[in-house]
């Protein structure tokens, strides 16, 4: 089966490319490299010993997208290409709606034109941001979120569900990721955030490497065991494996399947910080800062549906996440920039 991966040079995309190639899938990648580097593709080739057909194009460019379908004739698509920074989405809502929503529509129209019936879509646990009851299962979906990025995920899920309703031959997996962290154990590919990281683990990694001075822990008065925010961290390689399982599921399926991809375990900011200190052997200075606007106390997955229907179970724990992140960070202090 040949899979077209949109956004395949990005953080989750590049790890998924490795997992797909190792599982025996053929792939091609389309990525405009706006927030990623071609170096990631070269390193995936180096890790797998396989050459990847690559197109530096935007999925918003319909003609370019069609010519990729024309040449590659994919059997399935995994759609990662999107903007993903919550704070930025509040400042630039139109850019987020344009890229994420139009991008998904452009892809669905092209799939229709070329009769491609299988799609795996990158959704997010952000669709659960208004849910109070933990853990969240796929039915907890509340159609409410706190920011434009989150709305694009809710909207794209709905656009895809409606498209599937209109064409019963479509077979789609909507994957709701919790907090992906860590890196490939080789240290060759990993997360390469532009500028100062917004997310916890890349920030901690840059404190450990001396690029940043100290972590601000956003709030220690949440109703959680140690007062700091609790999230469901998932190793990016486990997440990548989840895509392979989802692809196998939709290969013979029909309709829309929605799955949480998380570990099912909540871990606090301070627990993550201490795990990283242990894995890296470095002390991480921190201060307690006010809560970050829009944050919630805790969110973690009920991953039982993915386990039951896909056989998905995380294999890497918090220590593995920290060890592999530190391996990537210490060998690539400036990410992919040489
Ligand atoms: C964020 C996004 C979410 C996205 C996910 C991808 C927000 C509000 N949400 O989730 O939509 O799907 O990333 O992984 O940005 N923290 C600190 N100090 C920091 C950074 C974070 O204490 O410098 C804390 C946060 O308050 C939170 C936890 O660490 O409790 C995790 O934060 P983060 O990594 O930004 O992820 P989320 O906010 O869960």
The number of residues making up the chain comes to 338
Q: What is the pTM of this model?
A: 0.97
State the residue for tokens 């799609």: 119
State the pLDDT at residue 132: 85
Q: What is the pLDDT of residues 264-290, one digit of tens each?
A: 999 999 999 999 999 999 999 999 999
Q: What is the pLDDT of residues 178-228, one digit of tens each?
A: 999 999 999 999 999 989 999 999 999 999 999 999 999 999 999 999 999
Distances (CA, A) of 25 to 92, 243, 268, 269, 334: 37, 12, 37, 37, 31
Q: How far is the CA of 159 from the centre of ligand 1 (A)?
A: 26
Q: What is the pLDDT of residues 108-155, one digit of tens each?
A: 999 999 999 999 999 999 999 888 899 999 998 777 888 999 999 999
Cα 209 from chain centre: 24
Looking at the DSSP bridge assignments, the partners of residue 172 are 119, 256
Q: How far is the CA of 230 from the centre of ligand 1 (A)?
A: 10
Q: What is the pLDDT of residues 11-23, one digit of tens each?
A: 999 999 999 999 9
Burial of 191 (0-12, 13-18, 19+ CB in 10 A): buried
Cβ–ligand 1 contact at 218 (below 6 Å):
yes
Q: Looking at the CA of residue 177, tell me the nearest atom of ligand 1.
A: 12
State the pLDDT at residue 338: 59
Nearest alpha carbon, ligand 1 atom 8: 295
Which two three-digit tokens encode residue 115? Answer: 């009769």
């Amino acid at each position: 089966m040949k899979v077209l991966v949109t956004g395949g040079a990005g953080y989750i995309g590049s790890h998924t490319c490795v997992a797909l190639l190792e599982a025996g899938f053929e792939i091609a990648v389309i990525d405009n490299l706006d927030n990623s580097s071609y170096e990631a593709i070269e390193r995936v080739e180096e890790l797998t010993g396989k050459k990847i057909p690559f197109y530096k194009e935007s999925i918003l460019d319909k003609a370019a997208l069609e010519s990729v379908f024309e040449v590659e004739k994919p059997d399935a698509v995994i759609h990662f290409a999107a903007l993903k920074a919550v704070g930025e989405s509040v400042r630039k809502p139109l850019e987020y709606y344009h890229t994420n929503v139009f991008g998904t529509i452009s892809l669905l129209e092209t799939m229709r034109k070329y009769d491609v019936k299988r799609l795996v879509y990158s959704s997010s646990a952000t669709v659960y941001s208004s849910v109070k009851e933990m853990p969240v299962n796929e039915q907890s979906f509340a159609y409410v979120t706190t920011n434009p990025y989150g709305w694009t995920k809710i909207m794209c899920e709905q656009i895809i569900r409606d498209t599937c309703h209109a064409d019963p031959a479509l077979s789609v997996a909507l994957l709701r990721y919790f907090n992906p962290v860590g890196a490939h154990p080789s240290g060759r590919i990993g997360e390469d955030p532009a500028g100062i990281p917004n997310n916890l683990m890349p920030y901690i990694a840059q404190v450990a490497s001396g690029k940043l001075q100290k972590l601000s822990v956003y709030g220690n008065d949440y109703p959680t065991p140690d007062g700091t925010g609790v999230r469901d961290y998932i190793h990016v390689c486990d997440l990548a494996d989840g895509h392979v399982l989802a692809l196998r599921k939709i290969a013979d399926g029909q309709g829309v399947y929605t799955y949480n991809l998380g570990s099912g375990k909540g871990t606090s900011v301070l627990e993550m910080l201490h795990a990283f200190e242990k894995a890296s052997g470095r002390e991480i200075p921190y201060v307690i800062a006010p809560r970050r606007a829009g944050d919630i106390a805790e969110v973690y997955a009920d991953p039982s549906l993915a386990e039951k229907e896909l056989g998905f179970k995380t294999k890497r724990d918090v220590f593995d996440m920290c060890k592999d992140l530190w391996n990537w960070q210490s060998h690539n202090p400036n990410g992919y920039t040489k």
